[in-house]
Amino acid sequence: MKTKLIFITGGVVSSLGKGIAAASIGAILESRGLKLTIVKLDPYINVDPGTMSPFQHGEVFVTDDGYEADLDLGHYERYTNIVTSSHHNFTTGQIYDTVIQKERRGEYLGKTVQVIPHITNQIKENIYNAAEGNDVAIIEIGGTVGDIESLPFLEAIRQVGHEMKGNQVLFIHMTLVPFIAAAEELKTKPTQHSVTKLREIGIQPDILLCRTDRDLSTELRKKIALFTNVAHDAVIQAKDVDCVYEVPIRFHDEGLDGKIVELLQLWTKRSNLQKWADIVYSFKNPKDVVNIGVAGKYVNLRDSYKSLHEALEHAGIALNLKVNIVYIDSEQIESDSDAMAWNHCDGILIPGGFGERGIEGKIKMVKYAREQKVPYFGICLGLQMAVIEYARNIVGMKNANTTEADQNTSENVIDLMNEQKNVTDMGATMRLGAYPAKFIPDTKIAGIYGSTEISERHRHRYEVNNKFVPELEKAGLVFSGKNVKLDLVETVEIKDHPWFIGVQYHPEFKSKPLDVHPLFYRFVEASYAYKQSKPAK
């Protein structure tokens, strides 16, 4: 295989930002003209990340091919041109599943099936398959060195290093260099221990990425180098940044990409990160603020709505505005209408969500946005709430609901499709991945996309019930987009409203800082226009 491999491991603590580091390295190497891919290996037993709680694990990212992935794949797509798929993420659970199925089919010819070589061989096979056809493959290993569960992955990549040798493989290890206030000192010991742990397993890192909140002196870098057997110019600081899109620039300034191409002996053009610099400048120098109220059950959990946050931020960057996201607890709104913090929002967004909790509060928020002509953006569940609100308050269907909240309602304007009614497995059984939608020409949404045929990613079970469409349409709700083949509603809008759009899909998964999604751009733009039209307080 000609592809060069860069493995990224993490030590000391979790949440060091390995995913963003991997994506940022991808961005710099792409700007040097290299063709690359990024893969995430997750050491947990779950067969797919789709069934994991966003509370515990952050957002479930959805790929075009309908794979429910770890949120790091979202970072990879936002920083690079990679279109991720199920080949870009695999878990211990999947590896074991494959090996056990092979064993059941007799493929191991009766041998004892063991972690080494069978599990490790399967890991290597998956890595090689994903890497093939690229100049470089970056492989991020989830978890922290020292965890029992990541051992088979580390053993497999050690073997890769042994088999490929030469300038084919690079090991980057990310650690923490904490500042201890009492001693008024940055401490290198955790890094030393973490590298020792890695070397016990047989992996000598080539480059260290040291996460820190302040600059590392040359002296300190030399100390780390000496204790870890890493060249001192390969001890790279990864200092905290205000804007995550600054990371590629900082890494480049630290000489990281230079070191990578030197060690891998890659001949490339120079990197050009000007576009990233422009983004960071706009982010740091906004001309004004716009307040977007986001309803959700997972209040205060940034990671549960990672892509949504980023997409709103991309729009803010493009419009040179600071998007201030105000999370609104819809359950609180249900019981206490006075707690309508959202009154002060310039735009209201109801994102995807599951279960019946908070539904009534969300419907109240839609009513407010519709009546007060506040820009409204409904995503997935947000579209469903908009349809229910319209049915209840305009058409007069008092019991209109989703069967997700009320199984027995006769006015089931949102309901399960037939094929969903027999589903018993929770994993990978929703309407998932990219589906096309066709817009009615001259609708607002067709104008926003500048096209009548699009493709977006889905992740849901419930749909608008076609039985009620004619009645709702007659009352003025515009069903602007459809999946023609499946005869399903994809988008809705209201005419005499400055900006009221619901989409059954998740546009946030496809927004990038260098290519902001038009729906987010237009929504934030409309929200800012609304803000400016309000009388000053």
Q: Give the residues lining the site for ligand GLN (CB under 6 A).
A: 352-354, 380-381, 404, 459-462
Six-digit token pair at 479? 């069903």
| 179-180 and 185-186 beta bridge pairing | antiparallel
Question: Minimal distance in Å, beta carbon 421 to ligand GLN?
Answer: 13
Angle at 401 between CA 395 and CA 407, to 5 degrees: 145
345 is catalytic: no
15: left (phi over 0), alpha (psi -120 to 50) or beta: left
Question: Minimal distance in Å, beta carbon 354 to ligand GLN?
Answer: 4
Residue nearer to ligand GLN on the CB measure, 380 or 524: 380
77 is catalytic: no
Query: What is the C-alpha separation between 205 and 220, in angstroms, rounded?
Result: 18
Residue nearer to ligand GLN on the CB measure, 96 or 354: 354
Residue nearer to ligand GLN on the CB measure, 305 or 499: 305
Whole-number CA gyration radius for the chain? 25
Residue nearer to ligand GLN on the CB measure, 95 or 388: 388
Question: Minimal distance in Å, beta carbon 404 to ligand GLN?
Answer: 5
Collapsed DSSP state (helix, strand, coil) of residue 305: helix
Instruction: Given the residues 380, 389, 463, 490, select the one marked as catalytic.
Output: 380
Question: Look-up: residue for tokens 């949440």?
Answer: 15
H/E element, 378 = strand 376-379
DSSP per-residue letters across 73-94? HHHHHHHSS----GGGEEEHHH
Query: What is the C-alpha separation between 419 and 432, in angstroms, rounded?
Result: 13
Question: Minimal distance in Å, beta carbon 460 to ligand GLN?
Answer: 3
Question: Minimal distance in Å, beta carbon 390 to ligand GLN?
Answer: 17
Give the single-character DSSP code of 65.
T
Residue nearer to ligand GLN on the CB measure, 224 or 434: 434
Query: What is the C-alpha separation between 512 and 277, in angstroms, rounded?
Result: 15
Instruction: Given the residues 155, 456, 508, 525, select the one marked as catalytic.
Output: 508
Question: Minimal distance in Å, beta carbon 490 to ligand GLN?
Answer: 13
Instruction: Given the residues 463, 506, 517, 525, select the one marked as catalytic.
Output: 506
Q: Count of alpha carbons within 13 Å of 274, Cβ hemisphere only?
A: 2
Residue nearer to ligand GLN on the CB measure, 309 or 459: 459
88 is catalytic: no
Active site positions, annotated: 380, 506, 508
